[in-house]
Each structure stands twice: as C-alpha cells, then as structure tokens.
A and B are shown apart, each in its own frame.
Chain A
Amino acid sequence: MHQVCITGIGIVSPIGHDLAAFSANLQLGKSGIRLLDNQPASRSPRVAGVVDLDLSQFYTPSQISLLDRVSLLALIAAKQAVTSANENTLEAAPMLEAGVYLGTGIGGIKSLETAFEEHFLRDGKRIKPLTVVQAMNNAAAGHIAMEFGCHGPSLTFSTACSSSAIAIGEAYRAIKHGYIDCALAGGAEALLTPGTIDAWEALRTLAIPDPVNPGASCKPFSLNRTGLVLAEGAAIIVLESLESARRRNAQILALLSGYGAKTDATHITKPDADGQTAAMRAALADAGLSPSDIGYLNAHGTATLAGDVVETNAVKQVFGDQASLLPVSSTKSMHGHVMGATGAVEFVAAVCAMNNNFLPPTINLVEPDPACDLDYVANTARPVDSLKHVMSNSFAFGGSNACLIASKLV
C-alpha cells in the first residue's frame, strides 16, 4: 500500500482561473454567479456560474474549432496542475506511465447540441464532421493524455454530480494499490447551453435568480433557497505516490487520505441520508480517522429544498455530538454547481482551506432554515489556527455518493 499525495493543482472556475485566484476569492466570499447574456427575450432571466476567460489567449482559432469547450477548459486546468507539480523539483512528474482519471457529467454537450440544432432545425444536410470526437465523454481525457504523453489508463467517469470526486477517488485507489504511480485526476464541465439549461429548468431544480443581486441566487441551507445554479469549469490535480513525490523533491500540497463511494439504490434523484452516511463513514474508515478528527467539511450543499436537509441529517448521523462543532460550508454559493467537475472543484476548495488556515463561507445565508441547523460558516470566511483533516462530499443523481478526505502531511 502506498500513501497518496497531491503535488499539483489546476483550476478554472467562475471564481478564479487559477489556484491563487480561486483560493483568494473563496476567502473573500466572492460570487462568480451572474445573469447569462444573450438569453431569448421571451425567457425569464437566468443565472449561472460562468468562466469568463478569453480562450483565444490559450488556443488558436483552429484548436478552438477542433475541441469542445469542455476539453479546452480541462486542458487549461491540467497544464496548470502539471506546471505546479514540476515547480522546483529534481525531476518532472512521471507522466509516461501516468493515468488520466477524469469526471464529466455530459462531456461535449455544446458540440452535440449545436450539431443537432443545425441538423434538425435548419435542415442541414450533414452534421459537422467532428461532432463525434468533440462530444464523446472521454474527449477531454484523451486530449490530456496526448498533451502530457500519459500512457497509463485513461478513464472517464460519468456519475453526474459526483463524477470528478469518483475520478479522484479511483485514481487515489489505483496509486494506493500500486497499479500506477501518478495520475492526472479531476473533472471538467461546460454545459451552459440553451438546451441543457432548459432541461434542468424543466426538472424544477434551478434557482430563481435573486431579483436584487443575481450573484446571490444560490443560497444553500438558507430558508429562502430556491435551487441550484448551474456552472462550468474544470479542476485537475496531480496525484502521486508519496515515494514518487519525495524522490523528485516535489511540493506536497496534501495527502489524499480517504475515499468512500456508496450508492443510495433508492431513487434516481431523491437524495438518501443512509447512502450519504455510508459514503462518509467509508471515507473515514479508509483514512483511519474518527469523525472528531475532521476540521472542515465542504458539503455537497446544492441549495435544493430537499438536498440540504438530507445532507444536514446525514452529517448529524455520522458526526453525532460533534456535528454542531463541525464547520460545514457549501462553496457552491460562490462558484455554483459545476456538475461533473464540482467534486474536484470542492475538494480543491477544502485543500485551499487546509493549506491557508481559513474556513470558506456559505454566502447568501441570511435566513436560517430551522431544518438546517449546523455551523455553515455563514457569509464570511473564518480564520482557523490549523486544519489537519478536511472532507468533501459529492452526492449525485443516480444515487452515486462519494466522499474524499485530505490530510496535512505531518
């Protein structure tokens, strides 16, 4: 068995296009949610967590034409991660045999939707020939493998909102058990297309835009919460065995110490406290930790009416008497729900908290819900002396629950 550590982090999110900006904005409680542009006049306004990044800074027009946005975002995050993993090291991270473990909910949906619109609505004779290779769920993983010459397993996990937490967890296991020595792991999502937003809206799960401050539309654990806010982004980390990281004198940002994956097997969308509890307990057992060892929990906290209460109850079941002492926050209040990438984004948020000694807030929490009665670090970040172990929850449609624990190397 090998210990597994994080040696590089890359992130492109609605609240920052690199790790430093992301961490700073988490601490500031800044919202990356805004009204969407170019919405049909017949529609009510919509909000989303948007990555306002000029992709032409990074890619030629030809590259932008060949890759879906999800792959472009994933590649930017992966490059940041590899660059940081190679900073001031004796040798570069071992990419040759590395695996690529990526999560995405809906892959290259923008390419697919655009092609189908052309085909069905405009009676186009042919579909854009690259539609298949842009839209396929494993496109981003394939491009990352090519970019860095990773010849280990290239795997794409699609378990809705827990996709990238599962991807990170499975990469961790592969390193822990000696199948690989290094992996690029995380997730990417770029689903802010008209059809996808309509489909989510039809499920009656999307937040109603806050009429005064659109940036405050996502209100996890608050009595006046109205639903989730869709977002796009990518977060990718370099995972490595501790031996490999030490051999090349790499920075060790954290240990990945525990992973639990459990399934509700009860309902396709309705969250289940028992399934969530099982995932958290499995992660704790894997890490060899007690609930009281955890200093911060990044909740799944989507701001749906049902989800926040069920998660609150699950946390109480796992943490018992300690639950009221545990700081729990939903950073989705700031960056939105990045779907297939959200587990990775939030795991990175938990690592930022641990490494910079602060508790990221749940912003927009002004009307407490009596059914959500934990310490949600309301509205402003809180400094802490030290965090040794942090946890991140990801619970998905389909009942796929995942929980990750990061620990400080002592």
Chain B
Amino acid sequence: MSTSDVEALQQKLKEMIAEEFSISIDKLTPDATVESLGIDSLGLIDFMFKVEDELGVDMPDSRTPLLTLADVYAEIAKATPRPIKG
C-alpha cells in the first residue's frame, strides 16, 4: 500500500468510526485508545466485521490486541481483497 493509499484508508475508517460510535472525528487520533473513546470490545468486533463488508475485504484470523486506533488501522491494513465468487 502506498502512503497515499494508507492515508485514504485511515480517513475512510475515521469517518466510519465517527458515524458508527457517534464520536467527533477530531477525537479520532491514531494514539487514542479504544477504551478512552468509549468503544467496548463487542462494539469493536462488530465494527471490524462491518468494515470487511464495506470495503469488500477479508481480515486474517488474528488475536492481536487492538488497544489504539493505530492498532485498528494496522489490523485492517492486513486485510486482503475478498475473492470474487463466480
């Protein structure tokens, strides 16, 4: 992924998080912790699932702790495009 692609992805994710959890977008800095934003673990898991659908990607099966938004972005960046079924 190029730098501009990463930035575009992060911007898209920020917008999705802001809408999903009703959080002001300027609070969504990369070092903000998920907990400090009031997002609970189940809400985050549900969000990641929605991201897969929205972006048409599959995330790897992973147990990486997602503590900050940077962790969330990094996890989503590992996703691979969903194969087209025919």
Contacts and interface: CB of A to CB of B under 8 A. Distances in A.
Interface of A: 60, 62, 65-66, 123, 125-126, 128-130, 133
B58 to A, nearest CB: 6
Interface stretch (B8-16, B25-33, B41-49, B67-75): B41-49
Contacts of B21: 62
Contact of A129 (B20, B22, B46, B58): B46
11 contacts: A60-B22, A62-B21, A62-B22, A66-B43, A66-B46, A125-B58, A126-B49, A126-B58, A129-B42, A130-B42, A130-B46
B12 to A, nearest CB: 19
A126 B82 CA distance: 12
Nearest to A60: B22
Q: Which of A65, A66, A128, A129 has the most CB of B within 10 A?
A: A129
Given A62-B20, A62-B22, A123-B85, A129 B49 contact: yes
Contacts of A128: 46, 49
Given A123-B85, A125-B58, A126-B49, A133 B22 contact: no
A66 B22 CA distance: 15
Nearest to B59: A126
A79 B75 CA distance: 39
Tell me what chain A mostly uses at the interface: helix, strand, loop, or mixed: loop
B42 A133 contact: yes
Nearest to B61: A126
B63 to A, nearest CB: 13
A404 B58 CA distance: 53
Contacts of B46: 65-66, 128-130
B45 to A, nearest CB: 4
B22 A130 contact: no
A20 to B, nearest CB: 33
Q: State which size class the interface on B falls in.
A: 10 to 19
Interface of B: 20-22, 42-43, 45-46, 48-49, 52, 58, 82, 85
Contacts of B42: 66, 129-130, 133
A65 B21 CA distance: 11
A130 B45 CA distance: 8
A35 B21 CA distance: 36
Contacts of A130: 42, 45-46
A108 to B, nearest CB: 14
Nearest to A127: B49
Contacts of B52: 126
Nearest 5 A-B pairs (CB), nearest first? A129-B45, A129-B49, A130-B46, A125-B58, A128-B49
Given A62-B22, A129-B48, 6 more contacts: A65-B46, A66-B46, A123-B85, A126-B49, A129-B42, A129-B45
A388 to B, nearest CB: 49
B50 to A, nearest CB: 8
Nearest to A125: B58
A133 B45 CA distance: 12
B55 to A, nearest CB: 14
Nearest to A129: B45
B43 A62 contact: yes
A60 B46 CA distance: 15
A62 B49 CA distance: 14
A378 to B, nearest CB: 50
Contacts of A126: 49, 52, 58
A173 B58 CA distance: 51
Nearest to B42: A130
B47 to A, nearest CB: 9
B36 to A, nearest CB: 18
Nearest to B46: A130
A62 B42 CA distance: 11
A304 B45 CA distance: 44
Contacts of A66: 42-43, 46
B41 to A, nearest CB: 10
A62 B52 CA distance: 17
A125 B52 CA distance: 11
Nearest to B48: A129
Contacts of A62: 20-22, 43
Nearest to B82: A125
Contacts of B22: 60, 62
A62 B43 CA distance: 8
A130 B20 CA distance: 15
Contacts of A129: 42, 45-46, 48-49
Q: Which of A62, A130, A133 has the most CB of B within 10 A?
A: A62
Nearest to A124: B53
